[in-house]
Structure 1
Amino acid sequence: MSDSFSTTVLNLTTGTNESVTDLTRACEEFLTRIAPGRDGLLNVFVPHATAGIAILETGAGSDDDLLSALHHLLPADDRWQHRHGSPGHGRDHVLPALVPPHATLPVIAGRLELGTWQSVCLVDTNRDNPERQVRLSFLG
């Protein structure tokens, strides 16, 4: 089987609140379409300076715990040098240093190899930009 590359872009609206959006189903649907039975790597990338990709448990409070931890580490106040947008927006530009804008995940036999409770998530603390893109790319 020769190596091949496939990619698509997800367009999402995250809203005007800080959010953790589960992308796992979209990743699985993408792999079902373009990589049935194949091994390779899935790269998930958000081309925004104020959002990141995290692998974590969702639905049991971990997503809220992550947002709470980020709020403590990166408070939305006037301490930031980057000062456009809503008050404290400069912290959103620091977020990708803590929650990187990408993740590369193994794909075995066309299936995303995540742990039992792991999900692929978009983390967005920027309330000024509710429209997001996420690029999914498969190499295999």
Structure 2
Amino acid sequence: MPHHTNSLTIATHGPSLTEFTREAADWVAETEIATGLLTLFCRHTSASLVIQENAAPEVQDDLVAAFDRLAPEGSHYLHDSEGPDDMPAHVKAALTQTHLAIPVVAGRLVLGTWQGIYLFEHRRHPHQREVVLHLSGD
């Protein structure tokens, strides 16, 4: 069974969801794998991956706001060596995922009509985040 790997660098600009569905789908198409499984892995502990609605931008804004309420910044964390947004970012990443698995059928990602693949940045400052893609199949 063939295996292909790639990595994407995703620029972020503070707490937000950055969609990269098109980049992942384009790479899958280049591999010419017809049937398989795409695994995506975020190489960071203060950012995460989510599959979320890609039609209404308010969904992404509401998710950022909801996670800020779940893990607010504050002096109640022991870990603060990288700034007040660091430990809340770790909590948010722990509540979401660092990896995703998406089936590939007929050379295309099997996502729902309104689903998109997002990097969820949890830190305040811009970052360059790396997502590793691994596709296996026939």
| Short-chain TM bin | over 0.9
| Pick aligned residue for 1:55 from 40, 46, 51 | 51
Cα distance, 1:58 vs structure 2? 2.5
Cα distance, 1:109 vs structure 2? 0.9
Q: What letter corresponds to residue 7 of structure 1 in structure 2?
A: T
Q: What letter corresponds to residue 93 of structure 1 in structure 2?
A: H
Specify the alignment match of 1:119 in structure 2.
116
Q: TM-score, normalised by structure 1?
A: 0.91
CA distance in 2, matches of 1:9, 1:109: 22
CA distance in 2, matches of 1:58, 1:81: 36
For 1:21-100, what aligned pairs fall within 5 Å after superposition? 21-36=18-33, 38-60=34-56, 61-100=58-97
Specify the alignment match of 1:132 in structure 2.
129
* Higher mean C-alpha displacement, 18-27 vs 53-62: 53-62
Higher strand share: 2
Cα distance, 1:59 vs structure 2? 4.4
In angstroms, what is the RMSD of aligned CA positions?
1.3
Q: What letter corresponds to residue 14 of structure 1 in structure 2?
A: T
| Pick aligned residue for 2:5 from 4, 7, 28 | 7
Cα distance, 1:12 vs structure 2? 1.8
CA distance in 2, matches of 1:123, 1:13: 11
Q: List runs of 5+ in structure 1 lacking aligned partners.
A: none
State, as a whole percentage, how many aligned pairs show the same letter. Answer: 34
Specify the alignment match of 1:106 in structure 2.
103
Aligned length: 136
Instruction: Tell me the secondary structure at the aligned position of residue 23 of structure 2.
Output: helix
Contact 2:85 2:123 in 1 (8 A): no
Contact 1:10 1:134 in 2 (8 A): yes
Q: TM-score, normalised by structure 2?
A: 0.92
Q: What letter corresponds to residue 12 of structure 1 in structure 2?
A: I
Instruction: Tell me the secondary structure at the aligned position of residue 134 of structure 1.
Output: strand
